[in-house]
Amino acid sequence: MINVSVKIKITDSIMKIQLDKPIKSTIFEIWQNIRTDAVQNAPYKSWTLRRSLSAIYKDKWMTTEVGSNLVYAPIQEYGWEITGNLRFKIWKKWVRTRRVRIKPKKYLTRAYNKNIPTIQQTFKKNFDRYITKLMRK
């Protein structure tokens, strides 16, 4: 899972309560965008990997994780190589080989890198909107 933390230190308890909502909504919005892009980038032979991708918000530290709980998800992201005397069945035929190599798909990494420019813009847009709303009160 890709895990990025945004730490914001707010000393005033009233401001902390007031800024809690826009921080949460902004982080959730950013990671939903990354999850959507990751779903589009993910391999889709059986669609299981795409369906398993989720964004989990951890309230205590205001962080979010995007990823999958499938065993083979890291293999698809980072690649894998198996060596030895291997024998397996492909399309109803038995095949022997010494090496199997799965190329990295980088579906999460590409989704994250695509959204980096929008992260700062999303924070600015949401905070400007929220502060404007507070000033009107």
DSSP per-residue string spanning 74-96: HHHHH-EEEEEEEEEEETTEEEE
pLDDT at site 19: 63
d(CA 83, CA 10): 53
4 pLDDT band (50/70/90 cuts)?
Answer: very low
**Per-residue pLDDT tens over the stretch 23-81:** 777 887 888 888 889 888 888 877 888 888 887 777 665 667 788 888 888 898 999 99
DSSP per-residue string spanning 97-122: EEEEEEPP--HHHHHHHHHHHHHHHH
pLDDT at site 122: 83
Whole-angstrom distance between the N-terminal and C-terminal Cα of the chain? 41
pLDDT at site 6: 46
5 pLDDT band (50/70/90 cuts)?
Answer: very low
**Per-residue pLDDT tens over the stretch 104-120:** 999 989 998 998 888 88
**Half-sphere exposure of 45 toward its Cβ, with a 13 Å CA cutoff?**
2
76 contacts 67 by C-beta, under 8 angstroms? no
The residues spanned by each domain of the chain are 11-136
pLDDT at site 81: 92
Residue 21 has pLDDT above 90, yes or no: no
Residue 16 has pLDDT above 60, yes or no: no
